[in-house]
Amino acid sequence: MCTAATYKTKDFYFGRTLDYEFSYGEQIAVTPRNYPFHFRHMGDVAKHYAIIGMAHVAADYPLYYDAVNEKGVGMAGLNFVGNAYFPEVTEGKENVASFEFIPWVLGQCANMKEVRALLAKINITGTPFAENMPAASLHWIIADADEAVTVESMKDGLKIYDNPAGVMTNNPPFDQQMFLLNNYRGLSPRQPENHFSEKLPLECYSRGMGALGLPGDLSSASRFARVAFTKMNSVSGDSEEESVGQFFHILGSVEQQRGCCEVAEGKYEITIYTSCCNATKGIYYYTTYTNRQITAVDMHREDLDGSGLIHYPMLEKEQILRQN
Ligand SMILES: C[C@H](CCC(=O)NCCS(=O)(=O)O)[C@H]1CC[C@H]2[C@@H]3CC[C@@H]4C[C@H](O)CC[C@]4(C)[C@H]3C[C@H](O)[C@]12C
């Protein structure tokens, strides 16, 4: 399972957790403006916006999981198993393979208005990247500082939902996730009043009782409610440290500890990494399951007019600052 979220202070932040039982081997990849993209059905694009994000790099190609571009648009792919369906190449549409979707959008859109215009023409195909790499079952969240959408390609068509919560997890489909939030409309960060019965003297015996009933488990629908509650009620200062710190706390509300989600005998899903991009400034911050110190890669410290892919390994060794 995975969770994605957006967050706005002075700058716009975008990130996700990647939860799985094994890693595909991912790196922080910067695609400079002149890296040539050869789209399978859309031809070559020689020049585009620069992109930074987490990717599996194969044959010098960035298979992005989540990324932002230099204009402040962010995008992440999360599992959507059993629901994702990618049609064949369709005439009259812009056919983009699912693994190309992030570069296709982030390479040419400066804001959500342009993203929506692009999505109106798109057909996301299941064209595999390689024979041994079939298309992953994904859905996507795309956002800028002002708005977010969720994109779900399903048997009955391509859905583009407004995403006013600016969060996303996995199944069920997004309209159902949003509907389920209705169940929690009584929750609050403030202490609750006793509406149970006037005849019973029920008390607030602890802080935090306003959110009693917010689900604590790791299921996708529960993480959706929990991250939405945490994000919508989040309060922080707007400095870079305060914003990034708070963002990691928001996604910390849904992190997965090894042992709590068994997916096969002795195999556990864990939060492999958590990312927080400052989409405004092009800085990719991350922590990993084993390295809880925040590490950053800044796209603007690279030559963005270059043509070669730049990538950094994920630093996974725990860093402990010794105080004495
Ligand atoms: C496994 C991950 C989702 C984790 C998740 O959500 N786990 C919950 C399981 S569950 O929902 O609870 O069942 C997803 C998220 C992004 C994906 C890559 C995207 C690029 C590329 C696309 C190609 O087409 C196939 C290979 C490729 C490298 C993909 C591999 C893999 O698929 C990645 C890592």
199 in any annotated domain: no
Tell me, yes or no, whether 203 lies in a domain: no
Q: What pLDDT does residue 236 have?
A: 98
182 assigned to some structural domain? no
Give the total number of structural domains in the chain: 1
pLDDT attached to residue 1: 63
**Whose CA is closest to atom 2 on ligand 1?**
79
pLDDT, residue 270, reads 97
Report how far residue 276's alpha carbon sits from residue 278's, in angstroms, rounded to the nearest whole number.
7
Q: Average pLDDT by consecutive 10-residue portion of the chain (324 residues)?
A: 94 98 95 98 98 98 98 98 97 98 98 98 98 97 98 98 98 98 98 96 96 97 98 98 98 97 96 98 98 98 98 96 96
pTM higher than the cut 0.95? yes
Cβ-count burial of 259 within 10 angstroms (0-12 exposed, 13-18 middle, 19+ buried)? Answer: exposed
Q: What strands, in cross-sheet order, belong to the sheet with 283-288?
A: 167-168, 2-8, 12-20, 270-278, 283-288, 295-298
pLDDT at 156: 97
Q: Which amino acid is at 318?
A: E
165 by Cβ neighbours in 10 Å (0-12 / 13-18 / 19+) ranks as: buried
Question: What is the pLDDT at residue 131?
Answer: 95
Whether residue 319 is contained in a domain is answered as no
Going from the Cα of 228 to the center of ligand 1, the distance in angstroms, rounded, reads 22
- The range of the structural domain enclosing residue 125 comes to 2-172+235-313
Residue of 138, 15, 1 lying closest to 74 (CA atoms): 15
Residue 219 inside a domain? The answer is no
Q: Is residue 252 part of a domain?
A: yes
ipTM exceeding the 0.85 mark: yes
With respect to residue 265, please indicate whether it lies within any of the assigned structural domains. yes
Instruction: Please identify every residue annotated as catalytic.
Output: 2
Provide the CATH number for the domain around residue 32: 3.60.60.10
184 lies in a domain? no
Give residues (CB < 6 A) around ligand 1. Answer: 1-2, 18-20, 24, 56, 63, 65, 77-79, 81, 98-99, 129, 133, 135-136, 170
Furthest-apart CA atoms within the chain: distance in Å: 73
